[in-house]
Amino acid sequence: MDPDNEKRPASDPELGNKARALQDMLLDALHAMRSQEELDDLREPSEPEKVTENIFDRLASLTGSALRFGVRATDRSLQVGRALVNSQDQLRAMLLAGNSIRDIREVAGLTLAEMSEALNLRDKSVLEAIENGTKTLSFELILRLAALIARNDPIPFIMRTTRNYNPEVWQILNDWGVAKVSLQFEREREFINIFRRHDSARTLSDEGFHKVLEFTRQSFEMSLHFAEDQEKQVAELRDSLARENQGGM
C-alpha cells in the first residue's frame, strides 16, 4: 500500500484541540439544557387551559433555546451523510439506535415531520433514514436530540448514541472521562452564577467590564497556581510518609 495514500494519524496537538472543541460543545449544550429546565420551572400557565397544551407545543418551544445552544452549526456541520459501515456490528448498532429513536418519537406521539421540525431538520426523510439505520448522525445533531428527548439525563444518551454513530468522537469523550463531564459542568455553573448574582456587572461599560474580567482572570490564575502548588506539596508529603512507613516495617 502506498504510504502517501494512508490516512495519517492526527498529531497530539491536533487531537488535543479536537478534544477540547468537543468538550466545549458538549458543555455548552448541557448549559443550554439546564437553563431551559430553569426557565420551564419558572414558567407558569396564565390560563387553566394552557396546562393541557399538546406535547408538540411544548417541544416546539425548545427550538428557541436548548436546541439552539452556542454552536452555530452550518448545514455542512449538521449534514447527515450515508453511513460508511465498516462492520456488521456497527450496522447492527445503528439499526438498534435508529429503532430506539423511533420508539422515543412514537412514545412522545410525534410524527416524523413534527420531530424533524423540532430538530430544525429541513427534510423529514433525514430522520426517517436515521430511524432505518441507513444514515449517520453528526455530533451536533446528537446534542440536539439529547436536548429534545433526554434533557433530564443527557449524558448516557449522548455517550450511547455517539458510540453507535461516531466511535472516534466517543473514544475522545470516553478518554476524557464521563464522570468528569458532570463535575466540569457543575464547576462552570458556579462561575456563571457568580456573574449572574451581580446585576451591577450588567450595567458596566465595555471598558469597565474588561477591567473586571482581566482582574478576575489574573486572580483566578494566581489562585490556581497556589492551589496546584499546595496540592503538589501535600501529595509529596503523603508519598514521603508512605515510604517511611514501608521502610519501618
Number of domains in the chain: 2
Residue-number span of the structural domain to which 202 is assigned? 198-248
Write out pLDDT tens, residues 158-207.
Answer: 878 888 777 777 777 777 776 577 677 778 878 888 888 888 888 999 99
Q: Say whether pLDDT at 213 is over 70.
A: yes
pLDDT digits (tens, 9 = 90+) for 97-147: 888 888 888 887 888 888 888 888 888 888 888 888 888 777 878 888 887
* Residue 217 included in any domain: yes
Q: Position 178: which residue type?
A: V
Q: Are residues 173 and 209 in the same domain?
A: no
The answer to whether residue 190 sits within a structural domain is no
Return the residue matching grid coordinates 496546584. Answer: 228
Same-domain pairing of 240 and 152: no
Residue 117 shares a structural domain with residue 219: no
CA 42 distance to own-chain centroid:
24
Report pTM. 0.50
Mean pLDDT of the chain: 72
